Amino acid sequence: MKLKTIFTLLLALTFLSAQAQLAAPDKLATKKGELTIQPILHGTVVFTWDNKTIYVDPYGGAAAFKGMAAPDLILITDIHGDHLDMSTLDSIDVSKAVIVAPQAVADKLPEAMKAKTTVLANGAKTEKLGITLTAVPMYNLPEAADAMHPKGRGNGYLMLVGGKTIYLSGDTEDIPEMRALKNIDVAFVTMNLPYTMDVKQAASGVLAFKPGIVYPYHFRGKDGFSDVEEFKKLVNTSNKKIDVRLRNWYPAK
């Protein structure tokens, strides 16, 4: 009996330790209640708002979402495995979810998921569950047909939630479309060579469109992690008003 009790306690401690590795969620006031922002892993984030749960690029398996509500909305940015992760999609409850994705992603989904998917091309807009979504370009520079992220294949997203505009960059470099953004309340910006951009490019782009809050995310590259502290320094040296939030996007397993 004692051994069973000890084993149960060890399991509980292991679970709590794993959960503690996730960054604490942030809260943002909107015109219709709080928006909860939960970093998950790499380019994956979960939003909760108005009793709705939004998963962005779900990745990391079911364990990454343990204790979280099943998604009502799923946004997918691109076809690469850290964005379109079929093993994760198959392991979580997507029964009530609507999916928004570019055509290249929809083409790779099984029929059951494809049937619940709204396809957005760059520049297109839709409304789901009271949330306005606009697909924005994400691509590598210089533009090339054989780039890892050619223009038009993937989507970044603008998400209008309770009067707040959230920008999810997707796998992009410091493109003109990002620099031209206006009135962004919260931005999630990638920085990982050779797939997207370095911290200097990312900082330059952020200083151009001046979001109220910016999260560097998706910063694990070919040679390790980008220096997000340097990104914060570059941004805040030029503009102290931008709230650069460094969070744990790579929880220990």
Q: Which two tokens stand for residue 94?
A: 């997507």
Residue-level pLDDT at 252: 76
Q: How far apart are CA 53 and CA 71, in angstroms?
A: 5
Residues of the chain below pLDDT 70: 1-20, 253
Residue-level pLDDT at 253: 57
Burial group, residue 52, by CB count within 10 angstroms (0-12, 13-18, 19+): middle
Q: What is the value of pTM for the model shown?
A: 0.90
Residue-level pLDDT at 10: 37
Enumerate domains of the chain plus CATH numbers. 25-244 (3.60.15.10)
Q: How far apart are CA 227 and CA 220, in angstroms?
A: 10
Residue-level pLDDT at 17: 40
